[in-house]
Amino acid sequence: MALSHAILVSLLDRPQSGYDLAKRFDQTVGYFWKASHQQIYLELHKLAEAGSVHGEKVEQESRPNRIVYAITPHGRAALDGWVEERTEPPSVKEELLVKLFALGSVSTEAVLAEVERRLEFHRRRLVEYEAVMAGHYPDPERLSARKRGLYLGLRMGILFEHSTIAWCEEALATIGELKRPRQVAPPRKARRG
C-alpha cells in the first residue's frame, strides 16, 4: 500500500493524469521511487474505486483524451492516517553485493567491471542532483514547508551518492589487489581508470 500513497502525495501538488504521474515518476520522484505506467494506471483505478481520487475526463483535439485525477477529501484523510503509521526501513535488494559475495568462485574481472560501471552511474547521478540543487534550491534557508521535503529528498540523494562513490572506489582497490597479489601488475590489453 505504498505506491498508492506516493500517487496521492503527488496529487497534493496538483491534479494529474496517469501519464503525468508516470512522467514524474520517471524523473525527480523516480530517483527514489520507480513505478511503471501500468502500475500507476492500476493504482489509479483502485484509488478511484476507493474514493480517494476523482477522475475527470478531459476531451482533447489532436491528442488522445486524458483522465485527470484529483485527490478527494477522503484521500486526504487516508493520507493523514498513513502518515501517523510507522514506516519500516526499506528492504534493500543489492544485486551487486550478491555478486561480490560470490567472489572466490566467479570471474573477478566481471565483478570489477560491474563495480566500475556502478561507479560511473553514481558519479553521473551526483552531477544531476547537484545541478538540480543549484538550479532549484540555491537558498535552502528560506523554503516553504512543501519545498523543504523535496529539498531533503535531494539532500538524501546527494549524501547517498557521495557515500556510494566512496564505497565503489574502495571496492575497486580491494578487489583489484586480488589480481596482482603483491607485485606490480603486468600491462593489460584494457586499460582502466
Q: Which residues bind DNA (CB under 7 A)?
A: 1-3, 17-20, 22-23, 34-39, 41-42, 44-45, 60-68, 91, 93
Min. distance of Cβ 191 from DNA in angstroms? 32
User: Cα–Cα distance between 86 and 160 in angstroms, integer?
Assistant: 23
User: Cα–Cα distance between 160 and 175 in angstroms, integer?
Assistant: 22
Farthest CA pair distance, the chain:
71
Min. distance of Cβ 52 from DNA in angstroms? 13
- The grid coordinates listed for 113 are 567491471
Stretch that binds its own copies, among 47-55, 61-69, 126-134, 147-155 (CB under 8 A): 147-155
Pick 1 or 184: Cβ nearer DNA: 1
Give the burial string for 122-131 (b: 16+ CB within 10 Å, else e).
Answer: beebbeebee
Task: Tell the residue number behind the cell numbers 511503471, with chain if given.
Answer: 36
User: Does the protein bind its own copies through residue 70 (CB under 8 A)?
Assistant: no
Q: Which residue type is seen at 140?
A: P
- The grid coordinates listed for 92 are 534493500
Stretch that binds its own copies, among 37-45, 60-68, 130-138, 143-151 (CB under 8 A): 143-151
- Of 85, 74, 63, 104, which Cα lies nearest the Cα of 11? 74
Contacted entry of its own copies, DNA, none for residue 64, CB cut-off 5 to 8 Å set by kind: DNA
Contacted entry of its own copies, DNA, none for residue 105, CB cut-off 5 to 8 Å set by kind: its own copies
Which residues are registered as beta bridge partners of 71? 53
Pick 19 or 121: Cβ nearer its own copies: 121
Contacted entry of DNA, its own copies, none for residue 83, CB cut-off 5 to 8 Å set by kind: its own copies
Q: How far is CA 65 from CA 10, 60, 122, 173, in A?
A: 21, 5, 38, 55
Residue ranges binding its own copies (CB under 8 A) = 2, 5-6, 9-10, 12, 29, 31-34, 76, 79-80, 83-84, 86-108, 110-111, 114, 117-118, 121-122, 140, 144-146, 148-153, 155-156, 159-160, 162-164, 166-167, 170-171, 174-175, 178
